[in-house]
Amino acid sequence: MHKLEEFRHGLAPLGYKVRHLAVECDEIQADTLEEVVECCLDQIMSMGHDGFILDDSGLFVDALKGFPGVYSSYVFSTIGCEGILKLLEGVEDRRARFECCIGCHMSDRGRTVVKGVSHGRIIDEIRGTGGFGYDPIFIPDGSEKTFAEMEMEEKNRFSHRGNAMRLFVEALRSKEGER
């Protein structure tokens, strides 16, 4: 539910009320988050839904050639933060990035897909209790705190989802201006 709160926080200023829609879509095995999001948009639209947003996120670690990437959720559920730290033992280059791809379909505005990125590094310990997923091991550029050590407002200034949300809001405003 952390994602839902982040969406509510990001879209409230535009007057959108965000609620959870319990819909399953088959996640394809793909190379990019955009491909996964586009496929899920198609599936959910084919179920007759309109006015929805979805996202897919991933942690891409340079020293691991982008792993776990599009498989981040599965990797987290199997080896967690501890497993990523184990894979990086003795590795000096700990650069990484989080990516978040947001997709939306509204019948009056069409389809929108944006991607936000947060560059940073993986630390060698787990720090913080907030957030979710890999938040306790990732420090974004420009900070000395992990995402798990940040309050939501601070995290949204740095995070991939915060960046994607700003791009998404900008795209919605642009489409509203076209109407």
Q: Could you give all domains of the chain from N- to C-terminal order, each with its CATH number?
A: 2-178 (3.90.950.10)
Nearest in space to 118 (alpha carbons), one of 156, 150, 87, 144: 156
Q: What pLDDT score was predicted for residue 177?
A: 66
Q: What pLDDT score was predicted for residue 97?
A: 99
Is residue 56 flagged as an active site residue? yes
The residue annotated as part of the active site, out of 31, 55, 56, 141, is 56
Number of residues that this document lists for the chain: 179
Of all residues in the chain, what percent carry a pLDDT higher than 70?
97
Q: How far apart are CA 178 and CA 112, in angstroms?
A: 14
Mean pLDDT of the chain: 91
93-120 per-position pLDDT tens digit: 999 999 999 999 988 888 999 999 999 9
